[in-house]
Amino acid sequence: MKYGLIGGKLGHSFSKDIHEQLGAPEYELKELQPEEIEGFLAKREFRGINVTIPYKETVIPFLDEVSERARAIGAVNTIVNDRGRLIGDNTDFGGMVALLTKTGIDLEGRKVLILGSGGTSKTARAVARSLNAASVNRTSRTKRDDCITYEEAVSENSDTDVIINTTPVGMYPNGDAIPVELAAFPKLTGVIDAIYNPLRTRLVIAAQERQIPASGGLYMLVAQAVLAAARFRTVCDDGEYREIGGGTEEEILAATERIFRAIAGEKQSVVLTGMPGVGKTTVGRLVAERLKREFIDCDEEIVRRSGCDIPTIFATQGEKAFRDLEAEVIRDLSAQGGKVIATGGGAILRPDNVANLKSNGTIIFLDRPIGSIAVAPGRPLSTDREALEARYRERYPIYCATCDVHLEGDATAEEIAERVLREL
């Protein structure tokens, strides 16, 4: 291994994609068991590695040198092999500062609650203190170190201003989990989640629904990777050892922005919602062709999985069975990311469907005037004009409330597809 990432479970990681864009084609993901850490580091068979959950604290005793910042934090996420000496650093610090800045969350004078007690939580605490937070609390499921319990967080710290999640709760493949209910913290002015897969966790979605500035951890991941790569590159790419470091602030920011946009664009799905007959499938195919992505029509996928058409499912099994199968399809497609998805007209009726679609997708509501939508066979809940208009009145507020982008007007499929692409 020349460069890479070590951790417990790495199936969710985007690090290889990021470092390849930074010019490290030999970057590898290496899952290790706790008992393998010492032996792996003792061999010193790498130039530079990143460290993730759960080993950011574990690696410290096996290093020859730890930077002042990493030692003060108590966590290492970057290790450079400098002529056989292993030097640990913490670029998560700079990554988290960059994420807070990007999201517009100011910690000065604020009460900060950090969910979790591991290495990333220690980094978050150091960041909060450096940014002059009024107070900082870390949480743990059980009473340990200087952490408070989640029960104490709710009962004694409901006036928290900013929450930073550093736990894996809500991370792929368990994307429907949420570490705390935000209703318990009515004064919140910001929420940060270090999780980046999915792009928007249930915690982030819950905050955004409350109009609270919030973001997942992708920007932090990219920023810390750019900082780590600057250290890697100055060690021995040309066989010569130089001082560890490098990369101006402007260069690091430019690289972070460029790669963040590329990775976010690649991983994020385009999700089309709206009434039956507005052209979601036609528009979706055009958008997918332009973006060179896979197109999936949820109704077509339901038919494929069930082996029968939708009117037959309604007639023989009922609407609930159809909605259950629809929810299963949406959950599976949403977890994959990077697709163009046309949903059924009633997909937004279940909050879980909306949350799943938003986890890795941008929801675009195609809003055509009801008078321009034709009644067509094969739509069990809108078989005539009266039924169609009833569904429209029932669903319209939900379409509006659940979308990220609202496209109004009657236009050709080609024109609507162009508007979708401009919005993206």
* Burial of 380: CB neighbours in 10 Å, binned 0-12, 13-18, 19+: middle
| Residue 340 to residue 265: CA distance in whole angstroms | 12
Burial 313-342 (b: 16+ CB within 10 A, else e): beeeeeeeebbebbeebbbebbeebebbbb
The β-bridge relationship of strands 48-51 and 78-82 is antiparallel
Helices of type H across 271-318: 280-291, 298-306, 310-317
Please state, in angstroms and as integers, the Cα–Cα distance from residue 333 to each residue in 89, 327, 348, following that order.
38, 10, 15
The amino acid that residue 163 corresponds to is I
- 341: β partners: 271, 296
Number of H helices, E strands in the chain: 16, 17
| Residue 110 to residue 156: CA distance in whole angstroms | 16
| Residue 15 to residue 26: CA distance in whole angstroms | 12
Please state, in angstroms and as integers, the Cα–Cα distance from residue 280 to each residue in 269, 329, 345, 360, 364, following that order.
14, 17, 9, 19, 10
In what helix (H) or strand (E) does residue 415 lie, and over which residues does it extend?
Answer: helix 413-423
Known catalytic membership, residue 43: no
| Residue 221 to residue 206: CA distance in whole angstroms | 22
Token pair, residue 114, equals 């950090």
As a whole number of Å, the end-to-end CA separation of the chain is 37
Catalytic residue among 9, 30, 56, 358: 56
Burial 17-37 (b: 16+ CB within 10 A, else e): bbbebbebeebbbeebeeeeb
Residue 152's SS3 state is helix
Question: For 116, which DSSP code?
Answer: B
Q: Are the C-beta atoms of 396 and 346 separated by less than 8 Å?
A: no
Any idea which residues carry the catalytic annotation? Answer: 56
